[in-house]
A and B are shown apart, each in its own frame.
Chain A
Amino acid sequence: MLTGIVFWVLAVVAVAAGVAVFRVDSMARATYALAASFIAVGLVLLLVDLEFLGVITVLMMTMEMAVMGIYMIMFMGMNPALMPMSMVHGKRPALAVSLGTFVVLAAGALLVPWPTRRGAPAAGLVTSLGEAIMESKMLVMMTVSPVLFATIVAALVLALPRGRYDRLGDDLKGTALRGGSRR
């Protein structure tokens, strides 16, 4: 009973916050509406006893959205972030794609004959999750993580050809900048 109420509250919050992402007119609100939506989803996961996945979703998504706040200023200048703006671009194709996705997923959820549960959940869910991910696929994970990290760093390097430290020197004294303008 209580679980049911909590589930519905969280579900409504998740969807409403998701809708809000596109309805609000400020990037800060959109970012944190998205974070709220993800947090609600993470808490729903707690309800089905996926504690680790639920909490890690909350952790990752909050952190991600907070960091996105940095990027949104960094790469878009201040204007789009600081003044009212529409969060929707290319409305028609976006609408078509999202409706199509929703229909496919909903149809799948309703029409696929889901198997009934066999056996009981493992006692140590975190342990079994770790084994499922890490045991046979350890090599893959070990390879993927440095590649992913290198990709992020490389993307940043490409996006920022000359950082503040290139121009100003390690101590950010700015002699390079001012020297340049004097010439």
Chain B
Amino acid sequence: MDLTRLAARRTAVLAVEVPGWSRTRCALEQDVRARGWRLAGSPADADLLVVCGRPGARLTAAVDHVWSQLPGPRARAEVTTADDVPAVLDGAAAELADGAAQRRDAAGRPADPEPGTTAAGDDGMGDMDMDGDSGHSGDMDMDDDPGDADGDHASGDGDMDMDDDSGEGGGDDSGDGDMDMDMDMPMPAGIGLAGAGGDDQLPDPDGLDMDVLHVPLGPVLPHWPAGLLLHTTLQGDLVVAARAEVLLPADDAPPDPPVHGTPAGRWDAVATLLVLAGWDDAAVRAARVRDGLLAGGQPPEAERLTRRITRSRLLRWSLRGLGRLPEGDAHDRLRHWLTGTGQRRSTELSAVAELVTGLDLATARLVVASLDLDTADRVTVPVGAGS
């Protein structure tokens, strides 16, 4: 089984951070790097699923759904403190290498992919006011959609409700297309289709009546604030409406000491934003600086890296003007993180929704990363305190 050992050198780990466990996630990332492994970009890419922290019911359901999307061989683990990370990863790696167990796991799985979310209509997208200042579109009232624990999960899975072709039923002559479809219409594979929105249809920024698609972003999505679930309404690839909420950790679980607000937390935000900006090299180095700071050192390369990042014209060009807040845009915030200037300011969830509205999906990701949301902070605030 030399091949398995060889394959194990590149094990891809999908890290799921529960709000409050960023320190564990940082330790996980460091250990993954030290083993020569890498972080997976999507469930399809992953061999290991590692949950950092104790997720609550809805987050657990989302993680379970993502687990069903790992292609296999696969292994799953949960880790709640930074110190446990090496042991947990060793255990998971052993499970991954256990051929007999993997074959049993594969035999027990359904042959066909299961349809997942019915993102459309599960989240009360009735509040279509775009200004998002109504207060209830951003808070964390969980009673808004009871019992949809099965509904929301990572993006990057196969069941976005676009459908193109079923190979059957080609007879219906729907050439004029966009009038007669309904979201409730039963679709070939039993999944909801992007529909001409009806009530959901918003004035399209391009003047094209693109169909409406509901795509949940998060809560299991790499380089994404822990536990954040952003219900987006897409027309084409433009976010025309969004609503944010945070999926909570399990009750009475003691989280890590916070990373946010510390220098390490700032470098963590830098690393996340740089990965999304597509600059892997600088991102990895930023993560190393972060890990150095967490270990209590004062990494000497921080200064050089800061100069390198702030000097990059291409980076400035792509981040300039994104997510503009009173104190500056995404690039300004990146500079503040790097230099340690500018006081931390927590962004309201409702503001997130407003900031990403009107942007395309990819730019929206950059904007969210540039906000450095502290979703763990919110859990300690009593629910409803904001509204």
Direct contact between A and B judged by beta carbons closer than 8 A: yes
Binding site for B on A (CB under 8 A): 24-29, 73-86, 89, 160-164, 167-168, 171-174, 177-178, 180-182
Q: Are the CB atoms of B167 and A25 closer together than 8 Å? A: yes
Q: Known interface pairs A163-B207, A168-B358, A173-B321. Does A78 touch B162 (Cβ–Cβ under 8 Å)?
A: yes
Contact with A along B189-230 (1 / 0, CB 8 A): 000011110000001011111110100000000000000000
Binding site for A on B (CB under 8 A): 129-131, 162-175, 177-178, 181, 187-188, 193-196, 203, 205-211, 213, 236, 238, 321, 324, 354, 357-359, 363
Chain B nearest Cβ from A173, distance in angstroms: 7
Task: Known pairs A28-B165, A178-B130; list 9 more (Cβ under 8 Å).
Answer: A77-B196, A79-B178, A79-B193, A84-B172, A85-B170, A85-B172, A86-B170, A164-B238, A174-B358
In the complex, A53→B188 CA distance in Å? 43
In the complex, A162→B163 CA distance in Å? 29
The 10 A-B pairs with the shortest beta carbon distances in the complex, nearest first, are A174-B358, A25-B170, A26-B165, A78-B211, A80-B177, A164-B205, A164-B206, A77-B178, A78-B194, A82-B164
Please tell me which one of the listed residues B172, B177, B181, B187 contacts residue A76 in the complex, with CB atoms under 8 A apart: B177
Q: Which of A73, A79, A171, A178 has the most CB of B within 10 A?
A: A79
25 contacts between A and B (CB under 8 A): A25-B168, A26-B164, A29-B165, A74-B208, A77-B210, A78-B211, A79-B181, A82-B163, A82-B194, A83-B163, A83-B174, A83-B181, A84-B168, A84-B188, A85-B175, A160-B206, A163-B206, A164-B207, A168-B205, A172-B358, A174-B357, A174-B358, A177-B205, A177-B358, A181-B203
Please tell me which one of the listed residues B131, B165, B205, B357 contacts residue A182 in the complex, with CB atoms under 8 A apart: B131
Contacts of A26 in B (CB 8 A): 164-165
Contacts of A160 in B (CB 8 A): 206-208
CB-based A-B contact count at 8 angstroms: 127
Q: Are the CB atoms of A79 and B177 closer together than 8 Å? A: yes
Contacts of A89 in B (CB 8 A): 173, 175
Residue in B closest to A182 when the chains form the complex, CB atoms: B131
Contacts of A173 in B (CB 8 A): 321, 324, 358
In the complex, A182→B169 CA distance in Å? 44
Q: Are the CB atoms of A84 and B170 closer together than 8 Å? A: yes
Chain B nearest Cβ from A4, distance in angstroms: 35
Residue in A closest to B180 when the chains form the complex, CB atoms: A79
In the complex, A26→B188 CA distance in Å? 13
Chain B nearest Cβ from A15, distance in angstroms: 20
Please tell me which one of the listed residues B130, B206, B236 contacts residue A181 in the complex, with CB atoms under 8 A apart: B130
Chain A nearest Cβ from B186, distance in angstroms: 12
In the complex, A74→B167 CA distance in Å? 24
Q: Are the CB atoms of B193 and A83 closer together than 8 Å? A: yes
Please tell me which one of the listed residues B129, B166, B205, B357 contacts residue A84 in the complex, with CB atoms under 8 A apart: B166
Q: Known interface pairs A163-B206, A174-B358. Does A86 touch B173 (Cβ–Cβ under 8 Å)?
A: yes
In the complex, A116→B363 CA distance in Å? 63
Contacts of A182 in B (CB 8 A): 130-131
In the complex, A177→B195 CA distance in Å? 22
Please tell me which one of the listed residues A25, A79, A85 contacts residue B194 in the complex, with CB atoms under 8 A apart: A79
Q: Are the CB atoms of B206 and A85 closer together than 8 Å? A: no
Contacts of B166 in A (CB 8 A): 25, 84
Contacts of A28 in B (CB 8 A): 164-165
Chain B nearest Cβ from A25, distance in angstroms: 3
Chain B nearest Cβ from A91, distance in angstroms: 10
Chain A nearest Cβ from B112, distance in angstroms: 19
Contacts of B187 in A (CB 8 A): 83
Contacts of B211 in A (CB 8 A): 77-79, 82
Q: Are the CB atoms of A73 and B206 closer together than 8 Å? A: no
Residue in A closest to B174 when the chains form the complex, CB atoms: A85
In the complex, A146→B129 CA distance in Å? 46
Q: Which of B188, B238, B354 has the most CB of A within 10 A?
A: B238
Chain A nearest Cβ from B269, distance in angstroms: 22
Q: Are the CB atoms of B207 and A86 closer together than 8 Å? A: no
Q: Which of B166, B177, B324 has the most CB of A within 10 A?
A: B177
Contacts of B196 in A (CB 8 A): 77, 79
Chain B nearest Cβ from A104, distance in angstroms: 28
Residue in B closest to A167 when the chains form the complex, CB atoms: B205
In the complex, A40→B199 CA distance in Å? 46
Q: Which of A26, A76, A83, A163 has the most CB of B within 10 A?
A: A83
In the complex, A89→B175 CA distance in Å? 8
Contacts of A162 in B (CB 8 A): 207
Chain A nearest Cβ from B178, distance in angstroms: 5
Please tell me which one of the listed residues A27, A74, A178 contacts residue B357 in the complex, with CB atoms under 8 A apart: A178
Contacts of B195 in A (CB 8 A): 79
Q: Are the CB atoms of A80 and B210 closer together than 8 Å? A: no
Q: Which of B167, B188, B208, B238 has the most CB of A within 10 A?
A: B208
Chain B nearest Cβ from A21, distance in angstroms: 13
Contacts of A177 in B (CB 8 A): 130, 203, 205, 358
In the complex, A174→B193 CA distance in Å? 27
Residue in B closest to A161 when the chains form the complex, CB atoms: B207
Chain B nearest Cβ from A66, distance in angstroms: 16
Contacts of B172 in A (CB 8 A): 84-86
In the complex, A160→B359 CA distance in Å? 19
